[in-house]
Amino acid sequence: MSAGHNTASDGQLLSIVQRIERLHEERKALADDVRDVYGEAKGVGFDPKIIRKLIARRAKDAGALAEEDSILALYEDALSRAGTRGEGA
């Protein structure tokens, strides 16, 4: 029956759940720190949005970055050939 003893497995599960919840809390605290730093950045005149982009770009290795940029250029070129926006002018 449900109530009554207290399996070893129960304790294990509780421990696991609590550890994960603890880690989530720590993660959240760090996320708040990040937010604070962005706030500070804005306070001294930097644009947080751009800083995000900058950091994202730094996180990718140079190869992947160039790859993405070049595909984007490729697509834009394809569109211009196919004739949107500005057709022949």
Partner DNA sequence: TCAGATAAAATCGCGC
Partner DNA sequence: GCGCGATTTTATCTGA
Binding site for a copy of itself (CB under 8 A): 1-3, 5-7, 9-14, 16-21, 23-24, 26-27, 30-31, 33-34, 37-38, 40-41, 44-47, 49-51, 53-55, 57-59, 68, 71-72, 74-85, 88
- Copy the structure tokens of residue 57: 């770009």
Residue listed under structure tokens 């050939």: 81
* Count of positions on this chain that bind DNA (CB under 7 A): 14
CA pair distance 76, 69, nearest whole angstrom:
11
Contacts of 56 (CB under 8 A, 6+ apart): none
- Copy the structure tokens of residue 19: 């550890």
- By CB under 7 A, the residues from 10 to 29 that bind DNA are 24, 27
Residue ranges binding DNA (CB under 7 A)? 24, 27, 31, 34-35, 38-39, 42, 48-49, 52-53, 56, 70
